[in-house]
């Protein structure tokens, strides 16, 4: 806590570029003294703070230049070096005259340089203030030194650098900055790169130009605090500094690119040291009214300070580390926020690092205790205020603010904003800033005593996964994560159909053990991210998508959903109720086409584990308990039953993090159910669902033993695409039924599973099945045209099955697919989905998408027609129809009578009318005993 108070009492390290309003009203003031402001025509600003001090005055010259401003290569360290030269004499006070005067008045004089400023300060009596003004004004305007003294001092600076190398902390800091920054001038320490320090004696002329560039009135602020005559002091300052010529131009500091991957460095130390571990995150510059930034400062103390749980664990209770502490400062531009520790046992370094990350993860998942946050804010506030009891205490507390902003009004702004922080603010700050992608991890050890961690790769090795992961790195602003569990509705216990789907819904639609569902939604909202679990017959796939910049804010929510689902009773009842309502109200009465397709699938695969709807039945859902869900999760969501897939613009550390979390899942690999073996269909079996409505929905199909990845698969795709390419008006069924006759909205066919066809335009992923069904989907038509539409669909399919494709049809459709297949997977999410499906189907690289494109170049008409004759047949199939008058429809179907179509006033060509005569009499071959009528209330009931 002492460190945080010290940092916040010197808050200005990041305020450049801020615009500050007038002083806050009294109700919003924290700084207890008045501030009087003045400026000279040349741009010099003067801040005067009158306060009782028994005649003492603190006089500060704040130069708003530090090592940050050293943008030219080869001359780093000059801001610090120039601090030395400022004591070498001036035109009116040459050589040691300056030091003699300072000694004669009993002044306390010194200076310091940081990344963002150089400050010169003296503490004197008010009687000696005029003298101080004279000597300070002279050296700032008329500094004078010769080349020999310059070279001598350069040697002394190199000696200072070597002295710093005797401290492990100095060596570590130098290495960390160099590793963490790529472009920004924070890459070098204040004292500079060693190579540049060595060559400093050669840069006498550059030093003179440095003085002219940076030591200008617009770049300096005078700060005077204490007991003095303000009017007289201002008069003396005007006289002493008024002739100082302006001419400052701010250097162009190159911004640091966003860091997206964890970095690691191992630093040997020539002396003796306990191993030191530091984690260094890219932080933020100080923005006085930014709650998240200020909350980020509090994160360090709350997570790693002397009152933190981690400090108690590692330092006090287990005594595994000598010390641990945060250094969450701030600077003119975003700098580093650090936690550092000295580890007693080198073999324990990796474990300590993991416990630091676990602390971060916990803070990202769980808000801090409100009282603890309030106590920390109170201590910071009063720690700052108690340091303002002397003129020098006031001036030293304000100098950095002034360097950043040119004023001190940000103090009130900042401390007032601190008082408004909530635990949620701290949590969001941890999620935003303390990410692995923003972190540089450094480990220091005594040279010659290698650390155990050195034997490992620079990046942490991911735990070995039972199933090899799928990696699909792409240049993409998004990151997609897929976790495929080999479990689905086929694994539902008898009588509790829908359990797999309900379990998945509890993961993506319920709260976690730590966070309720409504709060999860609130946290996901600003991220524009999410995760969901899709369940098919044999696959449950958790898919998460997030912009790559937000991965680390999003990841704790995803990890919690997977590893610590809440399985809350209220979520369970809500989700189960929604599913029952979906079956009873939505599926039965709001979507005839989905209802018909579900009935078709159930009848084609009757007696197999594919037969029931994934969501279950009304009665089976009512039987499922929360304990059933917990048991299904424990049995199937195991580390041995999952395949990790990662795609898009992710960094290397994310895969390791995912692997580590997957390793936390329980062991176990449940047995895979046997592939469904549907019973042969004899003749044309019809299921009519009796349901009120204005139209009739039609689906028909039969099992098809077709394997993805085979030559037949791609050949048959061409034929099926010609017949009924999904949502595509060039297909034959679409033209015959919709375009030429206007009976409905669309007509399509499929050679493998295509659920949710009403919402999709391209083939779905995550529906891998070992048993497939050929299907024709005729979207709802008016009741009086239902039989005609059925005949039209069957007729065109039978003609294709009997005659195959013509050369012209083949050429046209193959050329279409050559380009159209490029649309199958345009996003990283879709490409990753295909990669997961390849794993399910056992397809080796290059996978289905590449094989599909290659096949379009290699297949012949003969290949296609061979596949057509092998797989297409229309004698033995199931027809499912949802209609308002099932008995009347049955009578027409089994009668064999013609079913003419009436276009009313719409004129049709002779060719179409002639073809209609053939369609209306096309044989249906349906027997009365093969027709089943089911009331809609019975469907999905049990």
Could you tell me the CA-to-CA distances from 633 to 123, 507, 660, 665 in Å, in that order? Answer: 70, 9, 19, 10
Q: What is the pTM of this model?
A: 0.62
| Phi, psi of 703, deg, nearest 5 | -65, 145
pLDDT number for residue 6:
36
**CB-neighbour burial class of residue 419 (10 A; exposed 0-12, middle 13-18, buried 19+):** exposed
Q: Is the Cβ–Cβ distance between 56 and 389 less than 8 Å?
A: no
**Looking at residues 183-198, what average pLDDT do you find?**
94
pLDDT number for residue 579:
95
- 12: pLDDT strictly greater than 60: no
Taking each helix axis from N to C end, the angle separating 147-164 and 204-214, rounded to the nearest 10 degrees, works out to 90
- 334: pLDDT strictly greater than 70: yes
pLDDT number for residue 24:
40
pLDDT digits (tens, 9 = 90+) for 780-810: 999 999 999 999 999 999 999 999 999 999 9
**Residue linked to tokens 């002739």:** 243
Distance in angstroms (rounded) separating the CA atoms of residues 640 and 649 = 27
Distance in angstroms (rounded) separating the CA atoms of residues 46 and 64 = 14
Percent of the chain with pLDDT over 90: 73
Bond into 359 cis (ω within 30): no
pLDDT digits (tens, 9 = 90+) for 386-405: 788 889 989 999 998 888 88
**Residue linked to tokens 């690691």:** 264
N- to C-terminal Cα separation, the chain = 64
In 3-state terms, what secondary structure has residue 58?
strand
Q: Is the Cβ–Cβ distance between 930 and 876 less than 8 Å?
A: no
**Looking at residues 630-635, what average pLDDT do you find?**
97
**Looking at residues 703-717, what average pLDDT do you find?**
97
How many residues are present in the chain?
942
Alpha helices of 704-749 — where are they, by DSSP H? 711-724, 732-733
| Phi, psi of 533, deg, nearest 5 | -115, 115
**Looking at residues 128-135, what average pLDDT do you find?**
96
- Could you give the maximum distance between any two Cα atoms of the chain, in Å? 124
Distance in angstroms (rounded) separating the CA atoms of residues 67 and 240 = 28
Distance in angstroms (rounded) separating the CA atoms of residues 116 and 286 = 13
- 86: pLDDT strictly greater than 80: yes
| Phi, psi of 698, deg, nearest 5 | -130, 130
Banded pLDDT at 675 (limits 50, 70, 90)? very high
Distance in angstroms (rounded) separating the CA atoms of residues 813 and 819 = 10
Distance in angstroms (rounded) separating the CA atoms of residues 47 and 228 = 13
pLDDT digits (tens, 9 = 90+) for 15-63: 222 222 334 445 468 889 999 999 999 999 999 999 988 889 999 999 9
Record the tokens describing residue 821, joined without a space.
């297949």
Distance in angstroms (rounded) separating the CA atoms of residues 707 and 693 = 38
**Looking at residues 739-743, what average pLDDT do you find?**
92
Q: Is the Cβ–Cβ distance between 66 and 115 less than 8 Å?
A: yes
| Residue 941 CB contacts under 8 Å (≥ 6 apart), including other chains | 617, 618, 619
Quickly list DSSP for 879-942: EEEEES-HHHHHHHHHH--------TT----HHHHHHHHHHTT------GGGEEEEETTTTTT-
Kindly state the DSSP code that residue 568 receives in the 8-state scheme: -
| Sign of the alpha-carbon torsion through 468, 469, 470, 472 | negative
**Looking at residues 193-217, what average pLDDT do you find?**
94
Record the tokens describing residue 675, joined without a space.
């592939």
Distance in angstroms (rounded) separating the CA atoms of residues 750 and 42 = 80
pLDDT number for residue 545:
92
**Looking at residues 441-453, what average pLDDT do you find?**
83
| Residue 794 CB contacts under 8 Å (≥ 6 apart), including other chains | 700, 874, 922, 924
User: Which three-class secondary structure string do you get for 846-896?
Assistant: CCHHHHHHHHHHHCCHHHHHHHHHHHCCCCCEEEEEEECCHHHHHHHHHHC
Banded pLDDT at 925 (limits 50, 70, 90)? very high
Nearest residue to 256 (alpha-carbon basis) of 319, 192, 183, 201: 183
Q: Is the Cβ–Cβ distance between 78 and 260 less than 8 Å?
A: no
pLDDT digits (tens, 9 = 90+) for 296-331: 989 998 999 888 999 989 988 888 998 999 999 878
Banded pLDDT at 463 (limits 50, 70, 90)? low
Using only C-alpha atoms, what is the Rg of the chain?
A: 38
In 3-state terms, what secondary structure has residue 749?
strand
- 213: pLDDT strictly greater than 50: yes
pLDDT number for residue 349:
93
Lowest-confidence segment of 469-478, 699-708, 756-765, 933-942 by average pLDDT? 469-478
Banded pLDDT at 548 (limits 50, 70, 90)? confident
**Looking at residues 347-355, what average pLDDT do you find?**
91
Distance in angstroms (rounded) separating the CA atoms of residues 749 and 733 = 8
**Looking at residues 559-574, what average pLDDT do you find?**
94
**Residue linked to tokens 């002219």:** 212
pLDDT number for residue 9:
34
Distance in angstroms (rounded) separating the CA atoms of residues 35 and 23 = 9
pLDDT number for residue 17:
29
Record the tokens describing residue 135, joined without a space.
């000597």
Distance in angstroms (rounded) separating the CA atoms of residues 549 and 259 = 9
Burial code (b: 16+ CB inside 10 Å, e: under 16) for 896-918 equals: eeebebeeeeeeeeeeeeebbee
| Phi, psi of 323, deg, nearest 5 | -160, 160
**Looking at residues 128-146, what average pLDDT do you find?**
95
255 or 164: which leads in pLDDT: 255
In 3-state terms, what secondary structure has residue 394?
helix
Record the tokens describing residue 416, joined without a space.
């007032």
CA dihedral 915, 916, 920, 925 (to 10 degrees): 30
- 137: pLDDT strictly greater than 80: yes
Lowest-confidence segment of 92-106, 239-253, 725-739, 872-886 by average pLDDT? 92-106
Q: Is the Cβ–Cβ distance between 298 and 376 less than 8 Å?
A: yes
């Amino acid at each position: 806590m002492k460190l945080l108070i010290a940092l916040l009492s010197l808050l200005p390290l990041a305020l450049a570029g801020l615009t500050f309003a007038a002083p806050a009203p009294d109700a919003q003031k924290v700084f207890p003294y008045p501030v009087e402001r003045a400026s000279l025509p040349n741009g010099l600003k003067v801040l005067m703070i009158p306060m009782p001090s028994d005649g003492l005055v603190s006089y500060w010259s704040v130069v708003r230049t530090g090592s940050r401003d050293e943008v030219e290569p080869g001359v780093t360290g000059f801001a610090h070096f120039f601090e030395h030269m400022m004591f070498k004499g001036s035109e009116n006070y040459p050589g040691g005259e300056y030091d003699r005067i300072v000694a004669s008045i009993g002044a306390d004089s010194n200076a310091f340089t940081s990344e963002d400023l150089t400050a010169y300060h003296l503490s004197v009596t008010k009687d000696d203030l005029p003298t101080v003004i004279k000597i300070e004004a002279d050296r700032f305007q008329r500094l004078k030194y010769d080349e020999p003294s310059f070279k001598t001092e350069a040697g002394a600076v190199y000696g200072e650098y070597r002295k710093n190398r005797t401290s492990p902390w100095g060596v570590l800091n130098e290495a960390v900055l160099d590793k963490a920054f790529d472009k920004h001038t924070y890459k070098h320490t204040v004292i500079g790169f060693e190579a540049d320090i060595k060559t400093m004696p050669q840069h006498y002329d550059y030093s003179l130009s440095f003085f002219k560039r940076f030591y200008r009135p617009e770049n300096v602020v005078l700060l005077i605090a204490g007991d003095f005559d303000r009017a007289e002091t201002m008069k003396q300052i005007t006289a002493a500094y008024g002739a100082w010529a302006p001419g400052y131009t701010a250097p162009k500091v190159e911004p640091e690119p966003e860091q997206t991957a964890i970095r690691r460095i191992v630093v040997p130390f020539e002396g003796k040291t306990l191993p030191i571990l530091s984690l260094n995150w890219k932080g933020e510059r100080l923005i006085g009214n930014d709650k998240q930034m200020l909350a980020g400062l509090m994160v360090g103390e709350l997570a790693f300070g002397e009152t933190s749980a981690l400090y108690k664990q590692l330092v006090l209770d287990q005594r595994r580390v000598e010390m641990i502490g945060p250094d969450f400062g701030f600077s003119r531009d975003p700098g580093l926020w650090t936690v550092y520790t000295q580890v007693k046992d080198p073999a324990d370094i990796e474990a300590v690092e993991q416990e630091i990350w676990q602390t971060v993860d916990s803070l990202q998942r769980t808000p801090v205790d409100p009282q603890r946050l309030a106590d920390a804010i109170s201590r910071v506030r009063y720690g700052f205020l108690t340091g303002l009891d002397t003129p020098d205490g006031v001036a030293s507390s304000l100098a950095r603010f002034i360097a950043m902003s040119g004023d001190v009004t940000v103090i009130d702004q900042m401390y007032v904003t601190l008082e408004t922080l909530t635990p949620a603010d701290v949590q969001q700050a941890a999620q935003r800033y303390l990410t692995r992608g923003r972190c540089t991890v450094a480990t220091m050890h005594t040279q010659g005593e290698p650390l155990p961690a050195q034997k490992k790769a620079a990046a942490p090795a991911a735990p070995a996964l039972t199933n090899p992961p799928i990696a699909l790195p792409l240049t993409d602003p998004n990151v997609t994560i897929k976790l495929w569990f080999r479990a689905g509705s086929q694994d539902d216990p008898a009588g509790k159909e829908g359990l797999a789907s309900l379990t998945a819904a509890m993961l993506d639609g319920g709260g976690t053990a730590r966070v309720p569902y409504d709060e999860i939604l609130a946290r996901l909202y600003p991220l524009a991210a999410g995760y969901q679990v899709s369940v098919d017959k044999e696959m449950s796939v958790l898919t998460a998508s997030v912009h790559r910049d937000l991965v680390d804010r999003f990841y704790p929510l995803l990890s919690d959903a997977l590893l610590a689902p809440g399985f809350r009773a209220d979520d369970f009842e809500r989700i189960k109720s929604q599913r029952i309502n979906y079956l009873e109200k939505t599926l039965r009465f709001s979507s005839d086409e989905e209802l018909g397709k579900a009935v078709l699938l159930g009848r084609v695969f009757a007696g197999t584990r594919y037969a029931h709807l994934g969501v279950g039945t009304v009665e089976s859902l009512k039987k499922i308990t929360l304990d059933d869900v917990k048991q299904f999760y424990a049995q199937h969501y195991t580390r041995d039953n999952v395949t990790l897939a990662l795609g898009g613009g992710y960094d290397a550390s994310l895969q390791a993090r995912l692997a580590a979390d997957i390793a936390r899942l329980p062991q176990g690999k449940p047995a895979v159910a046997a592939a469904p073996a549907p019973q042969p269909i004899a003749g044309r079996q019809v299921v009519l669902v009796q349901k009120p409505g204005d139209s009739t929905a039609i689906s028909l199909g039969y099992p098809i033993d077709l394997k993805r990845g085979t030559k037949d698969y791609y050949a048959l795709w061409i034929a099926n695409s010609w017949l009924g390419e999904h949502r595509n008006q060039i297909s034959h069924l679409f033209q015959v039924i919709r375009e030429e006759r206007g009976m409905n909205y669309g007509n399509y066919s499929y050679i493998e599973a295509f659920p949710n066809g009403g919402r999709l335009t391209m083939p779905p992923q995550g529906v891998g099945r070992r048993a497939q069904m050929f299907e024709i989907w005729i979207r709802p038509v008016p009741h009086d045209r239902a039989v005609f539409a059925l005949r039209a669909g069957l007729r065109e399919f039978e003609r294709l099955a009997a005659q195959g494709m013509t050369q012209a049809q083949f050429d046209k459709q193959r050329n279409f697919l050559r380009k159209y297949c490029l649309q199958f997977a345009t996003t990283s999410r879709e490409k990753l989905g295909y990669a997961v499906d390849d794993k399910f189907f056992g397809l080796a690289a290059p996978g289905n998408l590449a094989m599909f494109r290659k096949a379009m170049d290699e297949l012949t008409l003969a290949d296609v027609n061979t596949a057509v004759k092998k797989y297409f047949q229309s004698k033995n199939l199931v027809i499912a129809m949802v209609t308002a008058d099932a008995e009347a429809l049955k009578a027409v179907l089994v009668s064999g009578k013609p079913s003419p179509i009436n276009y009313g006033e719409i004129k049709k060509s002779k060719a179409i009318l002639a073809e209609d005569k053939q369609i209306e009499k096309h044989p249906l071959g349906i027997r009365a005993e093969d027709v089943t009528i089911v009331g809609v209330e019975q469907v999905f009931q049990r």
